Amino acid sequence: MLSREDFVSRFGGVFEHSPFIAERAYDAGSVTEPLTASGVHVALAAAFRAASREERLGVLRAHPDLAGRLAISGELTEDSRKEQSGAGLDRLSPAEHARFTELNSAYVEKYGFPFIIAVKGLGKEDILEAFETRIGNGRDEEFATATAQVEKIALLRLTSMLPEAQ
């Protein structure tokens, strides 16, 4: 079994800049061998769901804006960079970039955290459509949607890191 330090080192970034999720999953004894994407995801998601609303809000706020300032300056985490690039968000026209910037600002102002969506398999048009739809949601509905998307992103990241059980 991985030590706590090794587990947190390996999986502490699965929930964006939130190693406390991996620490709590490990400490709860919910991590079992062999490590599989779904098994680790269950443990991490349980720790995330058990966190206070304020802590979960902190996890949401740790996510970067889509096609935002961090992407432009090259300061995204490697996972976020790959995810956004795969969706074409690094190749936006000036008009598309302006629309993302406008939506990002309006969304953060309304909800207090950035728009979060698991972009794998989506194109920029799909993301814009979801953005424009979800910005009409109520605060509690959008908090629930964003936290579900964070868990989906975590599973996608784990799937690229670990095998599934045979």
- Please provide the size of the chain in residues: 166
User: How far apart are alpha carbons 162 and 22 in whole angstroms?
Assistant: 15
Q: Are 60 and 113 within 8 A, CB to CB? A: yes
Sort 52 into a burial class: Cβ within 10 Å, 0-12 / 13-18 / 19+: exposed
Give the number of other CB atoms < 10 A from CB of residue 31. Answer: 21
41 counts as catalytic: no
Distance CA 104, CA 71 (A): 13
Q: Which of 17, 41, 63, 97 is catalytic?
A: 63
Is the Cβ–Cβ distance between 8 and 23 less than 8 Å?
yes
Alpha carbon separation from 86 to 43, 48, 113, 119 (Å, rounded): 27, 26, 23, 8
Residue type, 152: K
Which amino acids are annotated catalytic? 63
